[in-house]
Amino acid sequence: MGTCQSCGGPCLTYKGSVWQWTCQTCVRLAMDARAARADAKDQQNRERLVHSLKTHSSGRTTPKGGGSDSYVPHRPSAFAPNP
């Protein structure tokens, strides 16, 4: 029986070189904190990815309606209907 290095409470088992004398509660808390941190990092990465995708797509040159001089739809039948 040892003492939890985190909370100072009783620790039943030695949990290896990583956790050493850490009670079950503190191990779980630490794991939860680690998972939460990983989630936050994931979220950040996702937001950065979405942001970069957005900036890339908006940076594209949009086709302007400047082709009116070169391209005129020729439909005489629609503009001058025969009686």
Token pair, residue 44, equals 């950040």
Cα–Cα nearest to 28, from 10, 6, 3, 1: 6
Contacts of 5 by beta carbon, 8 Å cutoff, 6+ apart: 11, 20, 21, 22
- Scanning 1-9, 36-44, 62-70, 75-83 for contacts with Zn ion by CB under 5 A, the matching segment is 1-9
- Scanning 15-23, 34-42, 46-54, 64-72 for contacts with Zn ion by CB under 5 A, the matching segment is 15-23
Binding flags for Zn ion, 17-36, as an x/- string (CB under 5 A): ------x--x----------
Contacts of 3 by beta carbon, 8 Å cutoff, 6+ apart: 9, 10, 11, 21
Determine which residue in the list 7, 38, 50, 53 makes contact with Zn ion, applying CB under 5 A.
7
Q: Least Å distance between CB 9 and Zn ion?
A: 5
Q: By the criterion CB under 5 A, which residues form the site for Zn ion?
A: 4, 6-7, 9, 23, 26
